[in-house]
Structure 1
């Protein structure tokens, strides 16, 4: 596992604390999906528990490294979405999971070193789970590290955030991103990076899975609807059948580009009939619709309402 260029500062800071034996009892790895937080975490945990580590880098050959690679290290606990009684994966982390984790952390390390527990995605904890975790954060046990991973840390209660050492993963500069994408062999790197809002990890994924075609499809659909030519229901069916969250991302992005073109005195690419204030409000509506996909509302109705407002 190799770290990405924009991880260097956070890695150096954590390793300096590890060498001083001053690691916090809780970390919060926060930042947009696609920036490699989870790869960073995996490497850090492996290095922390490695029996032959060099400057925090795992050797990959000791017993601890092999156990972690196999997912059977007794001092590593990874908490994510569990299963309901009917076998369906939950959409949130619940209080019983946190209580089980807290009970495990109350026991001594089996290897006599660190115990590490991860909660990912921590921003998916429901209110009861977050309250239960708060007690564990307030009464940490010795040589125990709890790591929370959150793509949207604002969803976490302030009481949780304030009790963790926060490591923010920020979108790197365009030059750094393009250099990394080139090293990864990504084609159409600039277009993919634009589509991903500057996020290089997301750009790498989207360059490989047809996202650029979807981005063009969204803009074609919105332009047709603005001109009164498109069929909103047909658009809803296509967006819903694929990845509605991604289509909504591209829709919000298209609205932003429309506003920027107007501000620069250029021809607006989507030819929207809305004024600037309405277009800005529609941008917010598109983002709220993407957020609402997590809830129980019907996806087709969310999309239809949004596209009706556009038309």
Structure 2
């Protein structure tokens, strides 16, 4: 299994295995960093390792009873907590206090197999304040051989009281050479890897996903839309409708990166590639506004009005 581990996982994995050998595993781990860097793959690997009946060199065997139960999703000592569903069947947008209380009650019981029990909260940064407060008691009074795994793409959303009670592993963007090498190992050509990594702002996981799903074409569309708006060639409402109807969060990501490209061009005295008429301060403010809108896409605000404000500002 080690051969397939992304290179940027090797060091945190090594440190955890050293702690495990010293019988000094933390009772709570926060896996933090941008989406696309493999935090969930890392968590899955760690859970398999801890629950395996006969691990070798820190790796799960894949064939024992525990490994088979994990693969089937029925291991009694592996507990997952996510957004879940409301009583009416609709998807939740946050983790609520009743979910955390149920989890805490479960963790207060002994492991059914007599070893580790592992609870994974994902996305942990979706806990509302009441849920986060309810988790504190479990963090402060951990049961023996119990590990709480918190996974957060936006760890700053977690209260400091939660963050301070977890050992934190930060997943950061790898060096470009490592990212390109990894993408080529996944089957991309050198040119494909470079183009995808550029579109994903150096994030190899997102680059691979977007390449495989054909989503990189949206980057060109977004840049064409922004160039057309800057030059007055594209109707504003037409762009708003197109972005609203087709993967708005993804298009906003590419829009934010376009603003960065405009800023870089200005910094070296070149003409902005998309012809933006905003000055440096205007571009910085627009970049911040786009990122805020990305967070609001699934919220209660009307997306068409948010997009209209943003794209009007660009034009």
Deviating more after overlay: 80-89 vs 267-276: 267-276
TM-score scaled to structure 1, two decimals?
Answer: 0.98
- Distance in 2, matches of 1:242 and 1:24, equals 43
From 184, 189, 194, give the equivalent of 1:190.
194
From 11, 14, 17, give the equivalent of 1:15.
17
What's the counterpart of residue 211 of structure 2?
207
Structure 1 residue 210, shift from structure 2 partner:
2.2
TM-score scaled to structure 2, two decimals?
Answer: 0.97
- Distance in 2, matches of 1:253 and 1:299, equals 20
What's the counterpart of residue 168 of structure 2?
166
- Distance in 2, matches of 1:214 and 1:309, equals 21
Structure 1 residue 81, shift from structure 2 partner:
1.1
What's the counterpart of residue 273 of structure 1?
277
Matching of residues 252-263 of structure 1 within 5 Å: 252-263=256-267
Answering whether residue 299 of structure 2 is matched by residue 300 of structure 1, we say: no
Structure 1 residue 230, shift from structure 2 partner:
1.0
Answering whether residue 219 of structure 2 is matched by residue 224 of structure 1, we say: no
| CA RMSD after TM alignment | 1.0
Q: Which runs of 5+ in 2 are unaligned?
A: none
1:3–1:39 Cα contact (<8 Å) kept: no
What's the counterpart of residue 108 of structure 2?
106
Structure 1 residue 198, shift from structure 2 partner:
0.3
- Distance in 1, matches of 2:136 and 2:205, equals 32
Structure 1 residue 103, shift from structure 2 partner:
0.3
Structure 1 residue 163, shift from structure 2 partner:
0.1
From 75, 95, 112, give the equivalent of 2:97.
95
1:31–1:153 Cα contact (<8 Å) kept: yes
Structure 1 residue 211, shift from structure 2 partner:
2.2
The structure 1 segments of at least 4 consecutive aligned residues displaced by more than 4 Å after TM superposition are none
SS at match of 2:88: coil
Count, aligned residues: 311
What's the counterpart of residue 144 of structure 1?
146
Deviating more after overlay: 21-30 vs 205-214: 205-214
- Distance in 1, matches of 2:100 and 2:280, equals 47
Q: Which runs of 5+ in 1 are unaligned?
A: none
- Distance in 2, matches of 1:143 and 1:272, equals 57
1:181–1:200 Cα contact (<8 Å) kept: yes
Structure 1 residue 144, shift from structure 2 partner:
0.7
Structure 1 residue 236, shift from structure 2 partner:
1.0
